[in-house]
Amino acid sequence: MARSITPQRKMFNTALAWGIGLVIFFPILWTILTSFKSEADAIAFPPKFLFFDWTLENYSVVQDRSNYMRFLWNSVIIAGGSTLLGVIIAVPAAWSMAFVPSKWTKDILMWMLSTKMLPAVGVLYPMYLIFIKLGLLDTRTGLVIVLMLINLPIIVWMLYTYFKEIPGEILEAARMDGASLKAEILYVLTPMAIPGIASTILLNIILAWNESFWTLNLTAAKAAPLTAFIASYSSPEGLFYAKLSAASTMAIAPILIMGWFSQKQLVRGLTFGAVK
Amino acid sequence: MGKITLHGVRKSFGATDVIPGIDLTIENGEFVVFVGPSGCGKSTLLRLIAGLEDTSGGTIAIDGVDATDLPPAKRRLAMVFQSYALYPHMSVRKNIMFPLKMAGMEIGEATKRADAAAKVLNLTDYMERKPGQLSGGQRQRVAIGRAIVREPAAFLFDEPLSNLDAALRVNMRQEITELHQSLKTTMIYVTHDQVEAMTMADKIVVLNAGNIEQVGSPLELYNAPVNTFVAGFIGSPKMNLIGGAEAAKHGAATIGIRPEHLDVVQSGGWKGVVGLSEHLGSDTFLKVATDDVGIINVRAGGEVVLRHGDTVHLAPQPGKIHRFGADGKSLA
């Protein structure tokens, strides 16, 4: 029998859920609101919530002072490129782990994931030197490679979980039907795993878009993405909260909109395998 | 052509020998059924023939050509899986045409062949549907369609009817037999259901713990089982196997008598009390607890009206007693 919930209880739960949602969303909301305030209103105490002089001045200042489109374009290339490269490498890797596992497969997966536990700053110095030696410093190629490497364990792990759900007999049927390994992956495995691959791509674009440690440390002017664009507004001459907020809003808007439209796919991706 | 020869075929997983060594010849056009209890290695043997598993030793030849190290696609065999293994994202037509596409066949010819297969299997109206929109029986037909368009040297069936309900299973069983009669292509069929084995096979291979116990026609296996394992496995209800003094009277360690070879008589024979009585209309299955030979299964005529607690006398029909030695082998 389904558990019955009283209407009061249901209302309380709804209110609680909304409350928690608002608390989580509040910093983003506050950033967006602050971006429409004057610098004076932005630091006013007590803080002004909705009743202030709304202005678009910060946005025009930010747009005048820096080339938003260039940063945006760098972000798109770095996030998209690193994810695409990662998926191209991860699909065959996850295929072999899911369908022709060896006795080391589980250990390899754990080892790959364990690299995510290493603090990034621990390898900053060697990475920086390698980047200088290879001439990759402040290049989009360099960032595509480094972000791909950072997110590769997650991509492989997610795809592995999806592929594990695909019955092996279907791939065997393809083999019996004369499919080569390439045909098997291209015509049978990939189409069946499209929902999984899509949510993996989405999640990794978001991770790469928001990555700030490497993007800040390995770029200067040419390859800097939107994270560097935001950071450039926390200047040593003092913080300009309203302009910083406008820059932040502009930086997070594309990914926020993308996340909003694909939330169904994302939730499925993140909870996949949790319940069966 | 589709003659398959296994010579000393072995398979081990780690230290476990699943198939210690099998020699078997399957003639062109034969319908061969591998039958045996769960875990006897029958599916593994089929997968070795298919090339989906690598052998640990021995050779597999198809039409005289060594195929032991050939990949599945190069063996000219088609397989129908228990789970159907259809491609869920493709329409029925695309499923059936997939092997032809992989073979690089020109699209017009492939379509023509798929349509012909669909006609044979009554799938013409479902060609544009996805497998998810089909019933179990239709899905199995698509899987068969996908196998027949390739015109393979032999068909391999891995318990293809296990997922179907009883009525549909009987239908599909007949359809597969008819298909074999019209195509005359070698078929190897794996099942744990001895009724399927008896009704479909030209030749039955009874497997136990990775070894072949007996190879023969259904009636050979029924009439002359070589050992107690085959005697107990083939036939439904199971053959009664009796040891002790009663067997010694016949000069054997064990005697076997099929339930249908016992007559219910007025007096004499083995006396016992009916424990369970199942009336099927055409037959009556009795489970009788006897004083001399323990629990005995009896298959009596539908007209026999006996109930729980009734006393009966059972007499084995003359000439129908199978004798087995202490090693379980038939004493002929």
Residue A238 has what pLDDT?
Answer: 62
* B102:A172 CB<8 A: no
Closest residue in B to A179 (Cα–Cα): B102
Helical residues (DSSP H) of chain B, grouped into ranges: 42-50, 92-102, 107-120, 136-148, 166-183, 194-200, 218-223, 228-233, 244-249
CB A184 within 8 A of CB A174: yes
Pair A205, A83: CB distance under 8 Å = yes
User: What whole-number distance in Å separates Cα of residue A187 and Cα of residue A189?
Assistant: 6
Which residues in chain A touch residue B89, judged by CB atoms under 8 angstroms apart? 191-192
What pLDDT was estimated at residue A274? 42
Residue B87: closest CA among B143, B32, B48:
B143
CB contact (8 A) between residue A176 and residue B73: yes
- Do the chains contact at A173 and B89, CB–CB below 8 Å? no
User: For residue B70, how far is the Cα from the chain centroid?
Assistant: 27
Q: What is the pLDDT of residues A153-203, one digit of tens each?
A: 999 999 998 888 888 889 999 999 999 988 998 899 888 888 888 888 988
Which of B81, B130, B190 to mutate to test binding with chain A, by most A CBs within 10 Å of its CB? B81
Comparing alpha-carbon positions, the chain A residue that sits nearest to B99 is A177
The predicted structure's pLDDT at residue A273: 45
Place A263 in a pLDDT band, splitting at 50, 70 and 90: confident
Q: How do B211-216 and B203-208 pair as beta strands?
A: antiparallel
- The residue-averaged pLDDT of A213-237 equals 81
Which of the listed ranges A46-60, A108-122, B228-242 does the model predict with the highest average pLDDT?
A: B228-242
Average pLDDT over residues A98-114: 89
Minimal Cβ distance to B146: which of A177, A180, A183: A177
A contacts of B79 (beta carbons < 8 Å): 172-173, 176
The CB density around residue A26, as the number of other CB atoms within 10 Å, is 10
pLDDT at position A270, please?
58
What integer best gives the mean pLDDT of chain A? Answer: 86
Q: What are the tens digits of pLDDT across the range B149-206?
A: 988 999 999 999 988 888 888 988 998 999 999 999 999 999 998 889 999 999 999 9
Given a contact cutoff of 8 angstroms between Cβ atoms, the answer to whether B88 and B131 are in contact is yes
Compute the average pLDDT of residues A107-121: 87
Backbone angles phi and psi of A272, in degrees to 5 = -60, 135
- Which stretch of DSSP H or E encloses residue A165? none
Strand partners, B272: B290, B312
Q: Do B73 and A167 touch (CB under 8 A)?
A: no
Interface test with B, best of A177, A186, A192 (most B CBs within 10 A): A177
Count of residues making up chain A: 276
| Separation between Cα atoms, residue B315 and residue B268, nearest integer Å | 7
| Residue pair A116/A152 in contact by the 8 Å Cβ criterion | no
Under an 8 A CB cutoff, do A173 and B73 touch?
no
Please give the single-letter amino acid code of residue B111: T
Cis peptide before A153 (omega within 30 of 0): no
Question: Of B218, B225, B178, whose CA–CA distance to B202 is shortest?
Answer: B218
Q: Which region, left, alpha or beta, applies to residue B251 given φ > 0 means left and ψ of -120 to 50 means alpha?
A: left
| CA A244/CA A234 separation, integer angstroms | 7
* pLDDT interval class at A134 (50, 70, 90): very high
- Across the interface, whether the CB atoms of A187 and B99 are under 8 A apart is answered no
Q: Is the CB of residue A165 less than 8 Å away from at least one CB of chain B? A: no
- Residue-wise pLDDT for B238-247, tens only, equals 999 999 998 9
Q: Is A236 part of the contact surface with chain B (CB cutoff 8 Å)?
A: no
Going by C-alpha positions, the residue among B290, B284, B285 that lies closest to residue B315 is B290
Q: Are strands B154-158 and B77-80 parallel, antiparallel or unpaired?
A: parallel
A-chain CB neighbours of B83 within 8 Å are 167, 169
Query: Region A115-144: what's the mean pLDDT?
Result: 90
Kindly report whether the peptide bond that precedes residue B237 is cis, defined as omega within 30 degrees of 0.
yes
With beta carbons less than 8 A apart as the criterion, state whether A226 and A205 touch. Answer: no
Nearest CA-CA partner of A143 in A223, A251, A227, A226: A223
Tell me what pLDDT residue A268 has: 64
**pLDDT per residue rounded down to tens, chain B (332 residues):** 789 999 999 999 888 899 999 999 999 999 999 999 998 999 999 999 999 999 999 999 999 999 999 999 889 999 999 888 999 999 999 999 999 999 999 999 999 999 999 998 889 999 999 998 998 889 999 999 999 998 899 999 999 998 888 888 898 899 899 999 999 999 999 999 888 999 999 999 999 999 999 999 999 999 999 999 999 999 888 999 999 998 999 999 999 999 999 999 888 889 999 999 999 989 999 999 998 899 999 999 888 888 899 999 999 998 899 999 999 999 97
